[in-house]
Amino acid sequence: MHPNLRALISTVLCWAACVGLSACAPAGTLSSGGAAGADGAPPPEDAAPAQRDGAAPGARDGAPPDARAPAADGGPGEPRDARAPQDAAVEPGPEDAEPSPDAEPSPPVDQGPPIGEALVDRLTVAEVAAPGPVQRGDTSWRIWGRGDLGVAPVFTAPQADCTTWVGYTAQGPGGLTAWAVHLDAQDRVRASHALASGLALRGLAVEPDGHVGALLWDDAADAIFMARFTADGDELWRTELVNPDNRPDDFGIGDSRLAYGAGRYGAYYHVHSNTGHEGDTLKWIDAADGTPRTGWAWGCSHSMSSLLRFHPTGEQFLPVCVTDCYPGTSGDFGSTSRGGVYLNHRGPKVLDVDAGCNGSVAGEVGSLAPLGDGWALTVNAHQAPMTPGQRGYTADKNQDVGFVRIGADQRPGPVVWLTQTPGDEADVSVAPWAGPAGEAQAVVGWTEAGRRWLLARVSGDGQILEGPVDVSAQVQWGRRDDPFRTAANGDVIWAWFDRAGSDTLRVGRVRTGGQCP
């Protein structure tokens, strides 16, 4: 046989084998994740020295000033293998069946890495042109002082049809606009809806039939509204949420959360009392007609960070807060102040943390997600025992990542610490992950010293199964905005902007390889 003919046959056979085995391209090339900072550097780290000479929330109600002992010197801590070796094997899954040559190819969203592939190889990032530049975030009370949140909150709401809604506030020459961006199953823009002009978006939730709920805040008027829209962006009703003795005056302290379930919306947000104190309120709003009802008018005080999620199995909401004072404190603030993580604003208590009743607090809630028939809660806080009084958070304490299972009876289990580094971790998020044979697992992410983003996979009881792995070159997520959600095909999905003023929305996924319904 002529040598050239032999070479041609060999090439054709190789190409045919490659196509038949789907092995010509490396796994994970569906949508490669570029560097998170492609259109600008990340916002300044929130681990900068705390501002201690400004007016604390307690200054408005006569509390003593911040009195923490000097902070420890040193840079970020080293990554650790926590509860499992760094090289722990990932649970293998069933091999993908070899596709038939005549089979119709799956749409891109259904192509994912094979089960058993490492988290970092499952990551993909889509870039989306947003309808306007994102608003800058608040400087908020965080860990024993104030910290920059960088970017205003970004809300991610996946739907059963594998589409996703992303909400955020844009700030342009004409002022603020609350936007809801509807993405298709491939994370491409299907539609963008301007929900309100001159108002900030402080929460977004989407009903199973596609109706959209938005929590809208008027800073100038110290007013907050719940509004419901069609899937095409047409407003159906708008209701102001009012308490007679407090109002939502700012979000330089505390949070705002919105969730939907069982025919109603829950809105949980910071309020400032007419007598100068800081707390939170919980409102229920009927989805059909916007009729509001008060869950409580005054909850944790001061309410420093908070969460709210709905569990579809038990059809129940769960609110969580961190307080720097009440409940928990009795007596002189200087010597008896104590903070904590509480469910339902009065208990059960999850964890005691150092606090000063003056805005100084040594813990934050990060994220809450349905897991099994209960929930998974993530926090950052100190592992050392709480010390009462305003000088309790000393230089030998730091912030680690805690994982807590909460039962269907809303009773918390023990805190399982995922890290024990000498530095500080923050911005923790969690989402369910289906392990082998449907085992309840979770993906947890956090930041280390505001400069590194890490991901880990944990068991249902908080034991690290994989990681933590540094994913900073591929993805980021927002600061204290509870970003991770679960898509209909099981992917962990979230959205973020790299920096304030950016109009490039990024959508990250940890892909399961699952199929859309």
Residue 413 lies in a domain: yes
Q: Helices then strands (H, E): number in the chain?
A: 4, 31
Cα distances (angstroms) measured from residue 45 to each of 34, 187, 426, 451: 21, 28, 11, 6
Average pLDDT of the chain? Answer: 83
> What confidence tens digit (pLDDT) does each residue in 62-85 have?
333 333 333 333 332 333 333 333
Question: What's the number of domains the chain is made of?
Answer: 1
CA atoms within 13 A on the CB side of 343: 22
CB 128 within 8 A of CB 32: no
Residue 331 lies in a domain: yes
Q: Is residue 389 part of a domain?
A: yes
For position 66, what pLDDT does the model report? 37
The predicted pLDDT at position 517 comes to 78
Question: CATH number, domain at 200?
Answer: 2.130.10.10
Asked whether residue 78 is domain-assigned, the answer is no
Within a domain: residue 297?
yes
Give φ, ψ of 486 to 5 degrees. Answer: -110, 125
pLDDT of residue 117: 85
**Closest alpha carbon to 406 in 442, 365, 377:** 377
The token pair that represents 112 in the structure block: 């994912």
User: For position 24, what pLDDT does the model report?
Assistant: 36
- Whether 320 contacts 269, CB under 8 Å: no
Nearest to 204 by CA among 241, 161, 158: 158
202 falls within a domain: yes
What value, to the nearest 5°, has the Cα angle with vertex 424 and ends 421 and 429?
100
Asked if pLDDT for residue 103 goes beyond 80, the answer is: no
What letter does residue 438 receive in the DSSP assignment?
G
pLDDT confidence of 60, banded at 50, 70, 90?
A: very low
**Per-residue pLDDT tens digits for 40-53:** 333 333 333 333 33
Contact 238, 232 (CB under 8 A): no
DSSP assigned state of 49: P
Q: What is the pLDDT of residues 385-426, one digit of tens each?
A: 999 999 999 999 999 999 999 999 999 999 999 999 999 999
Residue-level pLDDT at 449: 86
3-state SS record for 151-162: ECCCEEEECCCC
Confidence of residue 105 (pLDDT cuts 50, 70, 90): very low
Residue located via tokens 């859309």: 516
Please write down the HEC assignment for all residues of 103-163.
Answer: CCCCCHHHCCCCCCCCHHHHEEEEEEECCCCECECCEEECCCCEEECCECCCEEEECCCCC
Question: Is pLDDT above 90 for 86?
Answer: no
DSSP string, 247-309: E---SSSS-EEEEEETTEEEEEEEEEETTS-EEEEEEEEETTT--EEEEESS-SEEEEEEEEE
In this structure, is residue 235 part of a structural domain? yes
**Radius of gyration over alpha carbons of the chain, in Å?**
24
Structure confidence at residue 116 (pLDDT): 59
- The pLDDT-based confidence of 57 (bands split at 50, 70, 90) is low
Q: Residue 69: its pLDDT value, please?
A: 38
Domain assignment present for residue 428? The answer is yes
pLDDT per residue over 447-504, tens digit each?
A: 998 889 999 999 999 999 999 999 999 999 999 999 999 999 999 999 999 999 999 9
Over residues 159-172, the pLDDT tens digits come to 999 999 999 999 99
Please state the rounded mean pLDDT for residues 102-121: 55
Residue 60 in 3-state DSSP?
A: helix
CB 307 within 8 A of CB 365: yes
Q: Measured between alpha carbons, how far is 454 from 28 in angstroms, rounded to an integer? A: 19
pTM of the model: 0.80
- Give strand pairing partners of 369: 376
Distance CA 442, CA 254 (A): 26
Q: Which residue range is the domain that position 467 belongs to? A: 112-510
Check if the beta carbon of residue 383 is closer than 8 Å to that of residue 401.
no
Q: Residue 480 has what DSSP assignment?
A: S
- Indicate the residue type of 262: A
Element (H, E) at 378: strand 374-381
Which of 29-43, 168-182, 262-276, 298-312 is predicted least confidently? 29-43
